A and B are shown apart, each in its own frame.
Chain A
Amino acid sequence: MKNEWPLYEVFIRSKNGLEHRHVGSLHASDAEMAIENARDVYTRRQEGVSIWVVPSSEITASNPENFGELFEPAEDKVYRHPTFYDLPHELKHI
């Protein structure tokens, strides 16, 4: 239906030092209203110190069908983890 307000994705930083985190979405007529609505909907109990809103239509997401080609190559690269390397137990601080 054509009169629906656009959808925004909402990201909240819970305190300085932490990243913004996706919390959900809401409808608003523009970005300014989206911030005001996000304040009321997602931070009624001091859950945030900063809000990002992004029009949902602007988000490009990977497709779950491409899981294999995107993420499987990392599966057999155990040598990227520190535990792959055999070092004597008596060795410290390494």
Chain B
Amino acid sequence: MEHSIEYLEKQFQDRIDRGENIEAKDWMPEKYRKTHIRQISQHAHSEIVGMLPEGNWISRAPSLRRKVALLAKVQDEAGHGLYLYSAAETLGISRDELFHQLHTGKAKYSSIFNYPAVSWADMGAIGWLVDGAAIINQVMLTRTSYGPYARAMVRICKEESFHQRQGYEIMITLCNGTEEQKEMAQDALNRWWWPSLMMFGPTDAESTHTEQSMKWKIKRKTNDELRQQFIDITIPQAEFLGLTVPDPDLKWNEERGHYDFGEIDWTEFWQVVKGYGPCNKERLKARNKAWDEGAWVREAALAYAEKQSAKKIISKAV
């Protein structure tokens, strides 16, 4: 029996409201599918591009302990990208198309990775702040309505906690070190603080996707709620390090039970989103280079596999 779109959409919303998960083969509104492809692939691209600023520091890590940790973290990010690409593919888009969207600049990734990592202290600040902000968002997403996305998030969250802890450990070590090392840590906090707050996206008033995403339980909290949660958690951690958060308006608001904070520079945010951040070009160039230079490997592996399977067929026939 054929049902009208309105009927199917109503049934779909009822399922979401009852707290049911949606699985790959279930009927879903076209916009739900598209929103998910956009969001999951942006998330996957962020993991993959996110390897670049840190990968650059693996060979420069100050000790073997730091080196194995950073290497493991970057490898996790590759893994997280792969979990997410697989989840996006369940919605009927191919991996090649997803890569194509990234490489041509059609798809976005988190703007934070368009900032350069210029000192070793940045490895600390990225783990502590960038992964910290990502965790807040990702913990929420473990309860998102689309099953394959939620399951990928559970796996990612289990692995991500070490990323933040290794970052904070770097910060502690620097802050307990020489005057210059502490200055490096402060400088990294100064540069990464505001971009980390921007990771939660535009304010609720400006966010075009939030309302529908909340209705479909893609998101369970708004950008502003998540940002406030991050600030409230992070300020005591900065105080523990003896570092100063670069925001003169930051102060505890007893009445609200939250920290008040200064105005975010949204002009900068939109500049970076639109492709004019310090490293946008460099990041895309690195991704395209890796993809293009790996083409012969992908082709050779496929040719080998075809040859092997042809051999098997022949040997069976004989």
Please say whether chains A and B are actual partners in one complex.
yes
Main secondary structure of the interface of A (DSSP, over half): mixed
Choose from B79, B299, B308 the contact partner of A30 (Cβ within 8 Å). B308
The size of the chain B interface, using a CB distance under 8 A, is 29
CB contacts under 8 Å to B, within A36-92, are 40-42, 44-45, 61, 63-65
Contact with B along A25-42 (1 / 0, CB 8 A): 111011001000000111
Q: Is B176 an interface residue (CB 8 A)?
A: no
Known contacts: A1-B97, A4-B95. The answer to whether A44 contacts B79 by CB under 8 A is yes
Please state if B82 and A41 are interface contacts (CB–CB under 8 Å): yes
Cβ B301 vs Cβ A29 within 8 A: yes
With a cutoff of 8 Å between Cβ atoms, the chain B residues found around residue A44 in the complex are 72, 75-76, 79, 159
Instruction: Report if A30-B309 is in contact (Cβ < 8 Å); known contacts: A3-B298, A5-B302, A64-B26.
Output: yes
Which residues of A are found within 8 Å of B97, using beta-carbon distances?
Answer: 1
Q: Hey, which chain B residues are within 8 Å of A4, CB to CB?
A: 94-96
**What count of chain A residues pass the 8 Å CB interface test?**
22
Interface residues of B (CB under 8 A from A): 23, 25-27, 72, 75-76, 79, 82-83, 86-87, 89, 94-97, 151-152, 155, 159, 298-299, 301-302, 304-305, 308-309
Residue contact B94 to A1, C-beta cutoff 8 Å: yes
| B26 contact set on A, CB distance < 8 A | 64
Q: Which residues of A contact B94 (CB under 8 A)?
A: 1, 4
Question: Shortest distance in angstroms between B72's beta carbon and chain A's nearest beta carbon?
Answer: 8
Q: What separation, in Å, do the CA atoms of A74 and B302 have in the docked complex?
A: 46
Among A29, A40, A63, contact of B302 (Cβ-Cβ < 8 Å): A29
- How many Å from the CB of A54 to the closest CB on chain B? 14
List chain B residues, Cβ under 8 A from A7: 89, 95
Is B25 a contact partner of A63 (Cβ separation < 8 A)? yes
Complex formed: what's the CA distance from A46 to B86 in Å? Answer: 21
Closest chain B residue to A63 by CB distance? B25
Residues of A within 8 A of B79 (CB): 40-42, 44
1/0 contact string of A1-32 vs chain B (CB within 8 Å): 10111010000000000000001111101100
Chain B residue contacts of A40, Cβ below 8 A: 75, 79
Residues of B within 8 A of A61 (CB): 25
| 10 closest Cβ pairs, A-B complex | A29-B301, A30-B305, A1-B96, A29-B305, A25-B86, A4-B96, A64-B26, A29-B302, A24-B86, A41-B79
- Name the B residues within 8 Å of A1 (CB-CB): 94, 96-97
